[in-house]
Structure 1
Amino acid sequence: RIIQEVRKKGDEAVRSFTKQFDGVLIEQPLVTEDEMEKAYERLDIEMVQIIRTAIKHIRTYHERQLTSSWFYHQKDGSMLGQKVTPLDAVGVYVPGGTAAYPSSVLMNVIPALVAGVERIVLVTPPGKDGRLSDAVLVAAKELGISEMYKMGGAQAVAAVAYGTESIQPVDKI
């Protein structure tokens, strides 16, 4: 039912379900640059450094997993091989509320960045105050995420899967 409502009513359905399930009405779900910058002011500098160190380690690990395209020609003129290309756009769901972990951002976004995905859309549910976790915001900002929405649950997954008036769909979640 949630998926069908989001497909039919788009942003209106997402707002309604966010109010119902998360207890907050979010008029503008797109996270602003200002919201991300203010998260740095509230988050302990030590946590920012921990996030930055984790990014380096996780990126190094995933860079070792990269596979390359390869091709070869047979004597009969046929060409065989493998072409590796990244998806154009992926959605990343980050749990919110009491389970708001910046590690969820890092462990899902970094592999997509290393693979060369151009557009990464992050969705995470807001707290009752309408805000997101400062650590999640900082982790996303450190990774260059510019498209992040305050929404969670099935409505968020449906919004990025099928698109709404304000969100273009992705290739994979």
Structure 2
Amino acid sequence: WRDEIQIDDAAMNKYAEGDEVDIKADVTNRCPTGCMNWDGKKLAIDDDNCVKCMHCINVLHRALRPGKDRGATILLGAKAPIMGGALLSSVMVPFISMEPPYEDLKELTEAIWDLWGEHGNNRERVGEFIQRVGLGNFLEQIGLDPIPEMVIHPRTNPYIFYELDGDDDE
């Protein structure tokens, strides 16, 4: 989902009155971004800072629900071989609405299959193919724009080197 978490205040009051869950200790203090606040009567959620880890929804399953604008996140390229190290997947599409007839998903899948089928080596997985040709080239060929969620790891070198065109002073 990508909108606000739905809160049922009546169910929250039942959790507050009961002994099964300590809302402050078990929910708000364990939120990875600290986007929740419980004042003893009302739960406040800063949805802009929520990373949608689902911990609060799993613990308070009668009181909290995901938002109504639901879809899927498309990840691609993971594998866990025995000899080499594990390769984590990359986020290709952070949110895509999943409504029939699913044309957006079908078009993306066909573009990936066509590119991989045409240029992939024998027994090469999609993740290995992306590493070989480069994520930028792969995205350009399938028609996706790069976004920050696709970064595998941040730069290790903060410096950017460049050359001015036509600088022949050397």
TM-score (structure 2 length as normaliser): 0.22
- Larger RCO (CA within 8 A; separation ≥ 6): 1
Where is the helix percentage greater, Structure 1 or Structure 2? 1
Decide which structure has the larger Cα Rg and report it: 2
Normalised to the residue count of structure 1, the TM-score between the two structures is: 0.21
